Structure 1
Amino acid sequence: MNTFQSLKYRYNNLDVFGKIITINIIVFILDVALSSIFRLTVVKYFVMPSGFGDFILQPWSLITYGFLHSGIWHLLFNMLFLFYLSSAASNLFRTKMVLNIYLLGIISGGLAYLAFSNILPTSIVGFQKGIMVGASAGVSALLMFIAIYMPDSQIRLFNTFNVKWMHIAIFFVSIDVIRILMGVNQGGYIAHVGGYLLGYSYAANLKKGKDIGVGFERLMDTIMSWFKPKSNLKTVHRKPSRAPKAKGSSDTNDKQKKIDAILDKISKSGYDSLTAKEKKFLFEASKDD
């Protein structure tokens, strides 16, 4: 196994948030390489613009900006928090639901940033228009969700003492509000607030028994299904077993039993679980059908 295959194997065995963290790191390295070495600014098509007109031309940026970072410390801070928060939430909730909160937090943060820069009187608040990058809004959503839904949950810092996620959330919300009032990087911190609001709303509704991310999850499942490879094999249906009537019918019954066994295996473990020999047999059977 060469280095690339080894890395690919390790990547495929990561959980969804491990893959997201890896993608963020790879994108950051590519961004640095393209902009510093080759003088290319490809990422400008994926950042979140402050102008509504610019956003209309690249609506995908509402998600893609969350995979870009302005510096190494920005990246490390967000990815470290994402690792701990996703681990804490995934211990109690479905991974897809935790992913919903994270992605919806990024979207909410982007919308808050867009609204703040285009609706509010920026001449009064002193907001400077530009672009936004970073996964902070998604991380903020997860932080607030855990703080509200599991206020007594804790994290052990520096392997020395425990701190409640609720207290960490209060600290960061306070810092963000102060910075907004001081006019420091208002756009970025407004995005944090958008994430906080999403996380709070998700937790409050979930406590009432309502998962507000179900519709978004279905949408994402539909989009992902567009990219799944489709098999070229014809569908082979089960045939009801019949009593042997003529010579050679025994071979036919054996063949059908083998098809049924393969179909059972597909229903339990998926098509990829078949051996090469089983795939070939099923393919031949589909042609004979």
Structure 2
Amino acid sequence: MLRELRSRVEQLSYRVGITPTMGWLLFINLAVFIAGRLIGGFSTMLGLPPRWLFNLLAVPAWLPQLILEPWTLVTYMFYHVDFTHIFWNLMWFWAFARLFLMRRTSRQLRNLYILGGLAGGLLYILAYNLFPYFAGVLPAARALGASAAVMAITIAAAYDDPDREVYLYGLLAVRVKWIALAAVAIDVMSVTGSNAGGSIAHIGGAIIGFLYIHMLRRGTDLGAWLNHLLDWGKARPQRQGQRPRFRRYRGNQQHASSSGDSTRQQGTGGQYRRYTPPQDGPGASADRATSQAEKEAEEREIQRIIEKLKQGGYPALTSEEKEKLFRK
């Protein structure tokens, strides 16, 4: 069932011209919103407390409550209550995630979304506990929504390609750096307004968006730890220094073994004899050379597609080129 769902989400993503990662982030936000509305309606009819789901998913600012609900620091960035809230968040995400992907990968988009949400939530919690201005509302204050994560992607896309022009409402050409600066300025001026928590979270997302691209340009990916965490179950190359897996042969059966420095092979008389794995030879060297050549050819192809994307835009790419670029 999960495999079928994944296949459908990816097919729909390709069909509307976005990457599967974008499709999954949109799908999760929409699915949580719809499920929340349905559960909220049934809860009201059953006489359950109206805010139990809100308290389960929204992140609290009060530290004693946060200690009891640490998962909310993740769930809050996918949770929306109002239609207008999720609509504008996802519209903003749709626009700037596509700009971000013109220069960066889908993994980096996923990682930045999570990092932006975490940074926004942490700055919100810190500010509400640090400044006396929020003392009166601190015990009941909670934050929700993808705004901080989307702001991180917005600032990252603008910092990465500041002079790229976009058309507001299809009419007015504006460079993305001015849109990003205006968004940050509005949030800075709104930190004591009616949505103070949201504005503070936006600033946290903006900071991590700037730092993410700044560090990438210096060779450090702040989201590398998320690759190890979220891609844990996928095939990975053997790490340097890791003990190789040897093989134990018994009759015609072959079993993997990672213990010991050698393995043994059963002889015809029922006795075991030591077996030494084959060493690298000319054939292995040739295979490595072929693999390296294939990687270099793939990288050249990706660079060609990116250049074509820059010159002619997304519609200029063929279906095969889009698939290669998104898979990368």
Normalising by structure 2, report the TM-score: 0.62
Whether 1:219 aligns to 2:224 is: no
Q: Choose from 79, 82, 99 the match for 1:88.
A: 99
Q: Identity percentage over the alignment?
A: 29
Aligned residue runs from structure 1 range 82-231, under 5 A: 82-122=93-133, 129-181=140-192, 183-222=193-232
- Aligned residue pairs total 228
Q: Aligned letter for 1:93?
A: R
Measure, in 2, the Cα distance between the counterparts of 1:32 and 1:123: 29
Q: Aligned letter for 1:103?
A: I
- Conserved in 1, the CA contact under 8 Å of 2:61 and 2:138? no
Whether 1:26 aligns to 2:41 is: no
Local SS of the residue matching 2:113: helix
Displacement after TM superposition at 1:57 (Å): 1.1
Higher strand share: 2
- Conserved in 1, the CA contact under 8 Å of 2:37 and 2:81? no
After TM superposition, where is structure 1 displaced by more than 4 Å over at least 4 residues in a row?
A: 5-9, 123-129, 234-237
Write out per-residue CA displacement over residues 193-223 of structure 1, whole angstroms, 9 at most, x where no aligned residue: 100110111122222232222123222223x
Higher mean displacement: 125-134 or 66-75: 125-134
Displacement after TM superposition at 1:125 (Å): 9.9
Displacement after TM superposition at 1:154 (Å): 2.5
Which runs of no fewer than 5 residues in structure 2 stay unpaired? 14-19, 235-253, 258-328
Displacement after TM superposition at 1:115 (Å): 0.7
Which runs of no fewer than 5 residues in structure 1 stay unpaired? 226-233, 238-289
Normalising by structure 1, report the TM-score: 0.70
Write out per-residue CA displacement over residues 113-135 of structure 1, whole angstroms, 9 at most, x where no aligned residue: 11111222235898785111000
Local SS of the residue matching 1:196: helix
Higher helix share: 1
Whether 1:79 aligns to 2:77 is: no
Partner of 2:60: 49
Aligned CA distance change for structure 1 residues 126 and 26 (closer, same or farther; 3 Å):
closer
Measure, in 1, the Cα distance between the counterparts of 2:156 and 2:6: 32
- Compute the RMSD of aligned alpha carbons: 3.1
Local SS of the residue matching 2:103: coil
Q: Aligned letter for 2:210?
A: Y
Q: Which has the higher contact order (CA 8 A, sep 6+)?
A: 1
Displacement after TM superposition at 1:38 (Å): 2.9
Partner of 1:16: 21
Measure, in 1, the Cα distance between the counterparts of 2:138 and 2:158: 29
